[in-house]
Amino acid sequence: MSNKICILDYGSGNVASVYNMVSRLSSAIISNKASDLENASHIILPGVGSFGASISKIREKIPLDALFSSLERGKPFLGICVGMQVLAEFGSEFGKYEGLGLIPGSVDELNSASEKIPHIGWNNILIQQNHPLVNGITEKDDFYFVHSFAFNPSDPKMNIARTNYGADFTSVIANENVMGVQFHPEKSQVSGLTVLNNFMGIQ
Partner 1 sequence: MRKNRIIPIVLFKDGHVVQSKKFREYKNLGNPLLTINRLSEWGADEICFLDISRDNNWQGGRSDLNERTPATFLEVLAEVSKVAYMPLTCGGGIRTMEDVELRIKNGADKISLNSAIFCNPALIQDAIKEYGSQSVVASVDVKFVGDKYKVYIHGGQTCIDQDWKDYLRRVEDLEVGEILLNSINNDGGKEGYDLSMLSIATSLVSIPVIACGGVGEWEHFRSALTETEIDAVAAANIFQHQDQSVYQAHKFLFVHGINVRPPRLLETNYLKVTTNELL
Nearest-approach distance from CB 117 to partner 1, in angstroms: 9
Residue 31 is a binding residue for partner 1 (CB under 8 A): no
Q: Is 197 an interacting residue with respect to partner 1 (CB under 8 A)?
A: yes
With CB under 8 A as the contact rule, the residue among 21, 29, 34, 202 that binds partner 1 is: 21
User: Rule CB under 8 A: is residue 136 a binding residue for partner 1?
Assistant: no
Catalogue the active-site residues.
81, 184, 186
User: Furthest-apart CA pair in the chain: how many Å?
Assistant: 48
Q: Does residue number 135 form part of the binding site for partner 1 (CB under 8 A)?
A: no
Q: Considering beta carbons, is residue 128 or 191 the nearer one to partner 1?
A: 191
Nearer to partner 1, 10 or 145 (CB): 145
Query: Which one among 134, 172, 188, 199 touches partner 1, defined by CB under 8 A?
Result: 188
Q: Is 9 in the site for partner 1 (CB under 8 A)?
A: no
The CB-based long-range contact list for 162-166 (8 Å cut-off, 24+ gap) reads: 162/125, 162/126, 162/128, 163/123, 163/124, 163/125, 163/126, 164/123, 164/126, 165/110, 165/112, 165/115, 165/119, 165/123, 166/110, 166/111, 166/112, 166/113, 166/114, 166/115
Say whether residue 116 binds partner 1 (CB under 8 A): yes
3-state secondary structure at position 190: helix
Four-residue CA torsion sign, 39, 44, 48, 54: positive
List contacts with partner 1 (CB under 8 A). 13-14, 16-17, 20-21, 23-26, 48-50, 115-116, 118-124, 140, 142, 144-147, 164-165, 184, 187-190, 192-193, 197
